[in-house]
Structure 1
Amino acid sequence: MGSFLSRFIDGGTEVSDPSSAEPSRVSSFHSSDSWQLHFKNSEASSQLMVIDFAASWCGPCKIMKPVVHAMSSTFTDVDFVKIDVDELPDVAEEFKVQAMPTFVLVKKGKEVDRVVGAKKDELQEKIEKHRAQLLPST
């Protein structure tokens, strides 16, 4: 519920994919404070978070945008987040982002994997791998 609430507090917004009639499940953050709140809330959860670091001028980022929106509809148990590196350079620096797009996969506040570049298949494989680890081992 914390991530749900943080989307509506100063700067966290739901974004829609204009090519789709369905609203997107990708949260976009426009302030460091709202991002930090969302991230802090996610640290207590074992839910996989996929952070899409992109820029409005980045061609490969534009190619991946509909792919990420489709994945967010497919993997409804995964928290998809978009960070514009020009809007939140401090967040991009914190995650050591050096190229775009960069997808950082996080669980319990820790990076578990990353994909650099517009690599749809690699991103999907890593999401499937890490979301499958949601259930505790017995």
Structure 2
Amino acid sequence: MGSLVSSLLGGGEIAEAAPSSSDPSRIMPFHSSARWQLHFNNSKDSSQLMVIDFAASWCGPCKFIEPAVHAMASKFTDVDFAKIDVDELPDVAQEFRVQAMPTFVLVKKGKEVDRVVGVKKDELEKKIEKHRALQPSS
């Protein structure tokens, strides 16, 4: 089905940002709520920025921005990227009040610091730049 959506979208204009097949993805997908909760709880002790990509396999705009998100994950190696399929983990999507896709939630020390809803590559990149640079002075 994903290839059908991709073919309908014509591959997208941002496909050139896709990592090569030799690049391992730096985006960690979560398929169980328990595993996600463990990862999220562990991140609360860190001042590292986490970008949570809420998407769905059937979501055309999610597929369209995916290559750009992979490129950002490769560029910002000091940022933790996670992916949540809202159909697989609806409880997690509900916890973060996700109402549209794609939604990107930026989290630091377990608290939401920013959010981008929709295919807004430049806005997402600017917010990642802003929040990854803000290190607490403690």
TM range (shorter): 0.7 to 0.9
Look up the match of 1:72: 73
Q: TM-score, normalised by structure 2?
A: 0.84
1:72-131 deviations in whole A, cap 9, x for unaligned?
A: 000000000000000000000000000000000000000000000010000000000000
Q: Within 5 Å, give how 1:1-138 maps onto structure 2.
A: 20-134=21-135, 136-137=136-137
1:1-57 deviations in whole A, cap 9, x for unaligned?
A: xxxxxxxxxxxxxxxx78532110000000000000000000000000000000000
- Distance (Å, rounded) in 2 between the aligned partners of 1:19 and 1:55: 23
- Answer yes or no: is the 8 Å Cα contact 2:56–2:101 preserved in 1: yes
% same residue: 79
Q: TM-score, normalised by structure 1?
A: 0.84
Letter of the 1:137 partner, please give it: S
Look up the match of 1:11: none
Letter of the 2:34 partner, please give it: D
Larger gyration radius, structure 1 or structure 2? 2
Shift of 1:64: 1.1
CA-atom RMSD in angstroms: 1.4
Q: Tell me the SS of whatever aligns to 2:26.
A: strand
- Distance (Å, rounded) in 2 between the aligned partners of 1:20 and 1:63: 18
Q: Which runs of 4+ in 1 moved over 4 A?
A: none
Greater relative contact order, per chain length (Cα 8 Å cut-off, separation 6+): 2
